Amino acid sequence: MSEWLALALAMAGACLVVVAVVLLRNRRVADDEDTSETPDVIEYITMMIGVVYAIVLGLAIAGVWESRSAAQDDVQREAQALHEVSARAEVFPAEYRAVVDKDVDAYVSFVVNTEWHYMQTEGEISPEGTDLLAKLRADVAARAPQNDIEAQAYQAMMDKIASADEARNSRGGNVGPTMPGVVWFGLGIGAVITIGMLFALQIRRSPRELVLAGTFSALFGFLLFLIWDFDDPFGRGMSVTTEPFLNLFPFLGG
């Protein structure tokens, strides 16, 4: 099922449930029920519940968006660090430079073509990717610098590999859902309570009231779906992409 279809079903489902409940309730309402006005205290409580839940939704959206942005930044940092390793190797002899470039190309190719799918299916980074990065570190460290220029480039390369390793570990920590289950429980219960308070306002079956109630519930369905989609930075529709690797290593796109 596509993400857009899931979103449409979530919004339509929330809207239909509320409209159906309103219609069923009005079929069972007593003929002498007074619906001319709603007590002020009910309107006040409904308003306060809506405000509190809106704040909770806003914090949840900000939290998952921040996690997704941090994950994308980690990917950018990892790709940039590996690109710098290849660039710094230019001052070394061709044989050594070829080994470094081969290790870098093997690692980024594995990340883009294999590990990305592995993260989505297994929920963790691949041990093989860790081994490839360790091989790059070992091959870079295998040759002692022969002059001052090489010494400066060597230290910079080791620092960039350490930065790539740190970004990789951070990427692994962001794989999978980031929102605790208790937060999802609160969001679900809050949505039920907030939408349920609509019925305390004595909504009738007029087209205007049904449209407003349906739109209100559909909005909640959209926001909850948005949080769910952002909750897994690497596994869902609006996930973190491999674009930084593709931009810095053009051969991957070929």
Judge whether 57 and 193 are in contact, CB under 8 Å. no
Contacts of 202 (CB under 8 A, 6+ apart): 35, 38
With a cut of 50, which residues of the chain have pLDDT below it? none
Query: Tokens 């949080």 label which residue?
Result: 227
* Residue-level pLDDT at 25: 64
Nearest C-alpha neighbor of 20 from the set 225, 210, 216: 210
The residue type found at 168 is: R
For residue 138, count CB atoms less than 10 angstroms from its CB and return exposed for 0-12, middle for 13-18, buried for 19 or more: exposed
Q: Kindly report the pTM of this predicted structure.
A: 0.78
Q: What is the pLDDT of residues 116-154, one digit of tens each?
A: 989 888 888 999 999 999 999 999 998 888 888 888 988
pLDDT digits (tens, 9 = 90+) for 11-43: 777 777 777 776 776 666 555 555 555 566 777
Cα dihedral value 80, 85, 91, 93, nearest 10: -140
Give the DSSP per-residue string, 161-187.
HHHHHHHHHHHHHTSS--S-HHHHHHH
Sketch the domain layout of the chain as residue ranges: 3-29+36-253
Residue 133: what pLDDT? 94
